[in-house]
Amino acid sequence: MSNAALYIKWGQPVRGRETKSIEVFMHALEYYGALEKQKKITAQRVYVAETGDLGKFGGFIVLEGDVAQLRAVLDSDDYKNLIMQAHQVVEHLETVHLACGDEVPKIVARVANARRQMGITT
CATH number, domain with residue 87: 3.30.70.100
pLDDT at 121: 85
Residue 95 structural domain? 4-118
pTM: 0.87
Antiparallel, parallel or unpaired: β 4-10 and 43-48 = unpaired
- For residues 12 and 93, the answer to whether their CB atoms sit within 8 Å is no
Phi first, then psi: give them for residue 106, nearest 5 degrees: -65, -40
pLDDT at 12: 96
Identify how many contiguous H helices and E strands the chain contains and give both numbers: 4, 4
Quote the Cα angle for 70-35-72, to 5°.
30
- For residues 69 and 1, the answer to whether their CB atoms sit within 8 Å is no
How many structural domains does the chain have? 1
pLDDT at 110: 95
Can you give the pLDDT of all 122 residues of the chain as single tens digits? Answer: 789 999 999 999 999 999 999 999 999 999 999 999 999 999 999 999 999 999 999 999 999 999 999 999 999 999 999 999 999 999 999 999 999 999 999 999 999 999 999 999 88
Strand segments (E) across 29-91: 43-48, 59-65
pLDDT at 116: 94
